[in-house]
Structure 1
Amino acid sequence: MSASAAGPEFALVDANPGGSPAGHLRFDDEDGETYLEPFDLVETLTEILRGHGHRVHAYDNGWIEIGDGGLFAYPQLVEFTELDGETIRTACTIQCNHLRLFPQGLFEYQHATGENFDASIKRGFDQWARTDLMALLDAAREEPETCTSMRMEFGGEDGAPLRRRRIVFGPVAHFGRAQTEAACAQDGEEADGHDFCPCCLLTNSLEAFRPLLDADGFFALRLFASRDHDDGECNADCRVNGEDWPQGLDGLRAYAATWPTAPGQSMEFRKQYVVVQDAAD
């Protein structure tokens, strides 16, 4: 990586499907006339990050430096869709590079819906700033400031080198369970607290991710599991550094199948960004 006043020159990840961070959108009005609407994802992400209190600097080439710890971000538009009810669904990616931890870069998707394109983009970026970014920032710190973490050791027997790994658990985005837990905690009874512990998505499907734990290097895991309590169907999504990791799907679906159903409960999901990295001695 080289840097100049124009910005750092990181290579874009080949697997990232994102396009340009800025340009024009083509829409048709009620009379069938076509018009163009400009967008600038770098400007939008910079605004969102500053709103969360981060010190940021946007370079001319679109890279955004976040804080002073060596983390850079680059947003790209994948696609947008006009839905019924005059709403917009957007899909973007944000590639992140860290000068020391992952100079080769990684990326993740942001999917959102809003009353217009700008509102949808802001919703997706805001969710990223509240969840994924927190894990990446804490991964660059000697001790995490906002996220739960744990350490694991591998090797060290029969002459094998001892390898220490740290796991940083980002905030859990969830739907359909918090109200049930609050109800369980009433009447002086203890709620099933570990059922919503930040470590549960990973530790309940740990064997699928052991190759990443028992390895060197930096891995960012997107974990998603859902359960339809009406019919019991469980689904999952799993990516590592932005790319599909099908080895994790069965474990995540099996964990979702264990979630208890409360009266009136329907769809439930949990989503989390988890970082696996080498631990400092």
Structure 2
Amino acid sequence: MAYNDALLFDLMIMRLPRFIQALFGKQHSESRSVNMSGNQPGIHQEGDPLLLEMLRTALTAQGESATVENGFLRASNQVSVSMLAMESVALGADRHRTAIRVSVSHPVWFPEGFTEYQHALGKTETDAFAACIQQWLAQDWIVIADAVREQPKDCAVIELPVAGVENQVSGYRQILLGPVAHLVQTPSGKKEEHPFCPCCFVTEVMDHLHKELQSQAFLGIRFFVSRDQHGKLAVDCRCNGENLEALVPVLTKYAERWPQQGLEFRKQFVVVRTSAVSSKSPQTGAANA
């Protein structure tokens, strides 16, 4: 994954403000503009033209086509994207923190849409917003793009058959495993029984996702777990942008088993969907778990 370790380390510090003082001491920050009123606009709210143009440029650089009109980016795969700047804070010279709200929808797979958030740091405000977009493309977009294909091609898939009439298979509940982001401050060299991989988060919480897996809903689930150098844990798990509190105790126990390696975080975005076609069909080039 094309992540810069220093930026990921800054991202972790930003997501967990209580670590800032311990690591860097008190630091003055000046907020230039903040839009965190608590109001949650609908997924059809028009996005920021500058952010959408930055996204269009980034997608074009990846060889994908997209257009921006009427406040939305529309990709060639029919995914519609709205991006809104939620926060921009000047932390000091050459250090900005930003947050964006990303809402996506698709006319077939998830017409009701869902929302996620991205946070990043950069030398300038523009750099920080660009980092938000690059992180979203690297961890979220790759999964969303696979989720609107009949056969996923870039993500590993965990698949469960859905029983229909007379126990005949009527479809498949599929979990598309996105790339993982993993940062360790001081690697210990001690190997885990099962090193962190794209299946780890889902494997840990599978027994507690019964309701989500039994439904037919399209779900975007974000996992974020961190541990500071003193062993304090922080867990943030969201489903379609909403807190998934039931998984917090499970993920906490998971993090307690990590080898001691100082400041560490693990992050992943996955999609749960229902498909009429198995991902294990010979036609697919996806890696299947």
TM superposition score normalised by structure 1: 0.76
Q: Structure 1 residues 247, 112: CA separation in 2 closer, same or farther (over 3 Å shift)?
A: same
1:13-33 deviations in Å (ceiling 9; x for gaps):
x735998744xxxxxxxxxxx
CA shift at 1:88, angstroms? Answer: 1.1
Structure 1 counterpart of 2:75, one-letter code = I
Aligned-partner Cα distance in 2 for 1:161–1:256: 36
Aligned equivalent of 1:124: 132
**Cα displacement (A) at 1:127:** 0.8
- In the superposition, the TM-score normalised over structure 2's length comes to 0.74
2:219 is aligned with 1:219? yes
Counterpart of 1:274 in structure 2 is 270
Alignment of 1:129-208 (within 5 A): 129-153=137-161, 164-176=172-184, 183=189, 192=192, 194-208=194-208
Change in Cα spacing, 1:214 to 1:163, as seen in structure 2 (3 Å) is: farther
Larger Rg: 1
Partner SS for 1:107: strand
Query: Hey, what does 1:73 align to over in structure 2?
Result: 81
Structure 1's unaligned 5+ residue stretches are 1-13, 23-38, 185-190
Contact 1:224–1:252 (CA<8 Å) still a contact in 2? no
Runs of 4 or more, structure 1, over 4 Å off, are 16-20, 154-163, 177-180
For 1:259 and 1:219, locate their aligned partners in 2 and report how far apart those are by CA, in whole Å.
27
Note closer, same or farther for the CA distance 1:169–1:251 as it changes in structure 2 (3 Å cut): same
Q: Distance in 1 between matches of 2:108 and 2:52?
A: 23
Q: Structure 1 residues 125 and 93 mapped into 2: Cα distance closer, same or farther (>3 Å)?
A: same
Residue 58 of structure 2 aligns with an amino acid whose one-letter code is I
Identity over aligned residues, as a percent? 32
Q: Structure 1 residues 105, 202: closer, same or farther in 2, change over 3 A? A: same
Distance 1:248 1:267 in 2: 22
Match of 1:98 among 94, 106, 130: 106
Letter of the structure 1 residue corresponding to residue 53 of structure 2:
E
The RMSD of aligned alpha carbons is 2.6
Q: Does 1 or 2 have the higher relative contact order (CA < 8 Å, sep 6+)? A: 2
Three-state SS of the structure 1 residue aligned to 2:82 is strand
Greater share of residues in helix: 2
State how far apart, in whole Å, the 1-side matches of 2:94 and 2:42 are.
Answer: 26
Q: Classify 1:267/1:178 alpha carbon distance in 2 versus 1 (closer, same or farther; 3 Å).
A: closer
